[in-house]
Amino acid sequence: MQATSDKINRWLETNTYRHGKFWEIKDLVAEKERKGLKISLCIPTLNEEKTIGKVIILLKSELMDTYPLVDEIAVIDSGSSDNTLEVAASFGAETYLSADILPEQGFRPGKGENLWKAIHQLKGDIICYVDADIRNINKRFVTGLVAPLIYRDEVHYTKAFYDRPLAYSEGIRPSGGGRVTEILVRPLFSLFFPELTAMIQPLSGEYAVRREVLEKLPFPIGYGVETSHLIDVWQEYGLEAFAQTDLDIRVHRNQTTNDLGKMSFGILQSFLSRLESNGMVDRLPELANIYRQFQAKGESYEQVLKEIIEEERPPMIEIEEYRKSRGLE
Amino acid sequence: MPDSTPHIASPTDLAAVREIVLGNIITSAETPSPTFGEEALAAFITNRFKELELTNISIDEAGNAAGLLLGSQDGDMEDRRTILVVAHTDKIWPADTNHTADVGAKEIVGRGIADNSVGVGALISLPKVLKELGIKLKADLLLVGTTKSFGGGDLAGIRYFLEHAKPQIAAGICLEGIELGRLSFSSTGMLRGEIIVKSDDTGPCGVIGILATIVTRILEIKTLAELNTEVLLGSIEAGAGYNEPPRRGILKFEIRSEDAENVSRIHRRIKEIVEATDAHCDAKCVLDVLAKRTPGEIREGHPLVNSARQILKKLNVEPCVGPSVSELSALLDRRIPALTLGITRGKNRHTENETIEIDPIFTGLAQIVSILQFIDGADDETLNFSHDASNE
């Protein structure tokens, strides 16, 4: 247990960033060009006409027109019934219907499908995925994610987190993912894959990944894609292959509890299928009693370990005193 | 006489800078910038100027954000010609209101998008626009985001800037988001004031009754129409519920006229009304003057006005001539030939659904560039403040 905690603490220190560290885009472009990297930005969509325009305008003007950091911006759509693709194209994005990419492989409606097909359609050595529903979109959503991959060859997968709840008086604040993270994914990771609890927001929809990793990953087409990526990349490359970047606040529409229920169901499917394929279903690891959360202290993050032991009592009818008092033999 | 037909830039040549211009407008809109709290937007403007490698980038004591795009002319600072372009940076919205802009294929909606995020966005996009069109001006282009335009700000930003600016300014252009075709070359005489009424014992109507009496008497001023003068009543604030007579109230108003003497006359008249009310009821009534402008203009036939009309015509935009009470008046006060221009079409001004159209922005930019080229090619005699082309 101590070894896991030490490893997580080391990783938090070396591989967790704040986006402000990478504000100098000129340096980022110079390093990208020195290494001869190409970067693709993929925005998966389904009925996002209200938000896609601003996402394209701000990312294209800053990261393609002003600084040549991104080599292509592509919208991959699951078949929107609104004007998502027309709006995106009018501001200079390349637009694709997911169904038109690799048609011989068929089409399945789901965000993971679009992310998977992007690997075939886009040219980049690094693909950065950004959701279209971010109302306060800004270049940091891309620079913060691609920078660790540009500067550090050993990092393969950078994940976003958004963590700025109210400041606490002692300078310490709880660090939270969304509701599904805290209720479902963090408890599961604490039990089965404790190192992955180091991901402050495992379900965030923004991440940047190297092609040589992406092309080897299976893709659940629905809600399970983020969870399964973390497990698969961790098993193949270990925790050191990940980085995570704090991108400040993400403003988006809130999902209903019903929708979160569906999301949880999809995540559980992916999670259990991984337990099955890893032969863990009938050989469960020793169940951990340590639940791992995080708190932010100034600019750094630390683990909060809680021992939670679920002891059980037998049925009352098996207790001798009870049986006597009820006149039972 | 030199050929006075202005060269017209084409909106269709601006496709390559389309997202840069829109990005600048959206970021200006999403940066809160209430009057007296404009630091964040000034910082954004100077950061853009640094990226564009302008010179003499500064934020002055009034908070104005300035940068200089050097022209191709030779000469020391004191001999160089400078064209000034300004856009006011303040918005009417408090910093804690939602400043998110919603972008559609044809329109952008959000607080302050028209007034004056389009103006600021155009200002900071001008160097890229000129470059894209392959235009290198001879004169230096001085770009300034000016502060404290609205309400009690009383144009403090532009006034401070003009008082302390080192370069000799040949001519100026003031940018406002809407309405494309707007052409202002005269400033209205204006006086902006507040009537404050306070009372501890005012009966069941509180100070509302007293304010109503004052309003009625202002509306009764008979000479308003004769003097071609308006009194605009902007707001009445008093009370907070249904059954508690308020003890304090404010009436905000603005007098506008093209004749400075008329503004003074009506001001005196309103002052008398307030003093009479103060004397005759159990309330303290005070008139505070917050802002004042003297009227000024360049003549209708001035070459700058003529060229602007020709340029609008060639861009198929109907000019809409009207006086201004904004930055233009500070320039005209200093006898700098200047215009206020609108950039795009819009609606719902000063509401949370303030809306601008995207495509006309590029016609608006073409208009600005064309007028800059005219100014750049005109000599000082042509641009002389008192020049009247109708005599030639």
Q: Which residues of B touch A251 (CB under 8 A)?
A: 100
Asked if B297 contacts B262 with a C-beta cutoff of 8 angstroms, the reply is no
Q: Please tell me what DSSP assigns to residue A226.
A: H
Please determine, for residue B22, whether its predicted confidence score (pLDDT) is greater than 90: yes
Q: Do A54 and B101 touch (CB under 8 A)?
A: yes
Instruction: Between B68 and A133, name the one with better pLDDT.
Output: B68
- Of A164-178, A271-285, B88-102, B347-361, the range with the lowest mean pLDDT is A164-178
Domains belonging to chain B, first-starting first, are 11-187+295-391 (3.40.630.10), 189-293 (3.30.70.360)
Cα(A175)–Cα(B241) distance, integer angstroms: 42
* Cα(B188)–Cα(B229) distance, integer angstroms: 10
Looking at the DSSP assignment, which residues form a beta bridge with residue A159? A207, A244
Per-residue pLDDT tens for A93-107? 999 999 999 999 999
Mean pLDDT of the residues in chain A: 90
- The domain ranges of chain A are 2-169+194-256
User: How do residues A130-187 score in pLDDT, each as one tens digit?
Assistant: 999 888 899 999 999 999 999 999 999 999 998 644 334 344 455 556 788 889 999 9
Which DSSP string do the residues of A144-196 spell out, in sequence order? HHHHHHHH-TT--EEEEE----PPPTTSEEEE---HHIIIIIHHHHHHH-GGG
The H or E element that residue B217 is part of is helix B207-219
B386: confidence class by pLDDT, cuts 50, 70, 90: confident
Q: Which of A108-112, A214-218, A297-301 has the lowest mean pLDDT?
A: A297-301
DSSP one-letter code for A98: G
Per-residue pLDDT for B206 more than 90? no
Could you report the predicted ipTM of this complex, rounded to two decimals? 0.82
pLDDT band (50, 70, 90) for residue A191: confident
| Among candidates A61, A86, A251 on the partner chain, residue whose Cβ is nearest the Cβ of B20 | A61
More confident residue, B77 or A158: A158
Q: What is the pLDDT of residue B48?
A: 96
Residue of B nearest to A25 (CA): B51
A contact test, residue of B20, B100, B103, B131 with most A CBs within 10 A: B103
Closest CA to A214 of A141, A147, A127, A102: A127
Q: Are A154 and A241 in contact (CB under 8 A)?
A: yes
Burial (CB count within 10 angstroms: exposed 0-12, middle 13-18, buried 19+), residue A299: exposed
> At B168, is the pLDDT very low, low, confident or very high (cuts 50, 70, 90)?
confident
Strands (E), A193-251: 207-210, 242-246
**Residue A170, pLDDT score:** 45
CB contact under 8 A, A58 and B51: no
Label residue A108 left, alpha or beta by phi (over 0 means left) and psi (-120 to 50 means alpha).
Answer: beta
More confident residue, A18 or B79: A18
Q: Which residues of A touch B17 (CB under 8 A)?
A: 65
Smallest Cβ distance to B105: which of A62, A65, A83? A83
| Cβ partners under 8 Å of residue A323, min gap 6 | A317, A329
Looking only at the bridges linking them, the beta strands covering B102-103 and A300-307 are unpaired
Instruction: Look at residue B298 in the predicted model and tell me its pLDDT.
Output: 87
Find residues 64-103 of chain B whose CB sits inside 8 Å of chain A.
Answer: 100-103
CA B10/CA B369 separation, integer angstroms: 9
Contacts of B301 (CB under 8 A, 6+ apart): B388, B389, B390, B391
A/B interface, count of CB pairs below 8 Å: 51
Q: pLDDT band for B9, please (50, 70, 90 cuts).
A: confident
> Residue A14's CB: how many other CB atoms inside 10 A?
11
User: Is A2-169+194-256 assigned to CATH 3.90.1150.10?
Assistant: no
Query: Max CA-CA distance within chain A?
Result: 86
Q: How confident is the model at residue B352 (pLDDT cuts 50, 70, 90)?
A: very high
pLDDT tens-place string over residues A236-267: 999 999 999 999 878 777 778 888 899 999 99
Strand B82-88 with B140-146, pairing: parallel
**What whole-number distance in Å separates Cα of residue B45 and Cα of residue B26?**
13
Query: Does residue A13 have a pLDDT over 80?
Result: yes
B21: tokens are 């211009």
**pLDDT tens digits for range A287-297:** 678 888 877 77
CA atoms of B258 and A52, how far apart (whole Å): 47
Mean per-residue pLDDT, B117-145: 97
Which of A27, A61, A70 best probes binding to B when mutated, by most B CB atoms within 10 angstroms?
A: A61
Q: Which has more confidence, A4 or B63?
A: B63
CA nearest A227: which of A202, A194, A192?
A202
Supply the pLDDT for residue B328.
Answer: 93
Least Cα distance to B34 among B87, B99, B88, B92 occurs for B92
What percent of chain B clears pLDDT 70, i.e. is strictly above it? Answer: 97
Mean pLDDT of chain B: 92
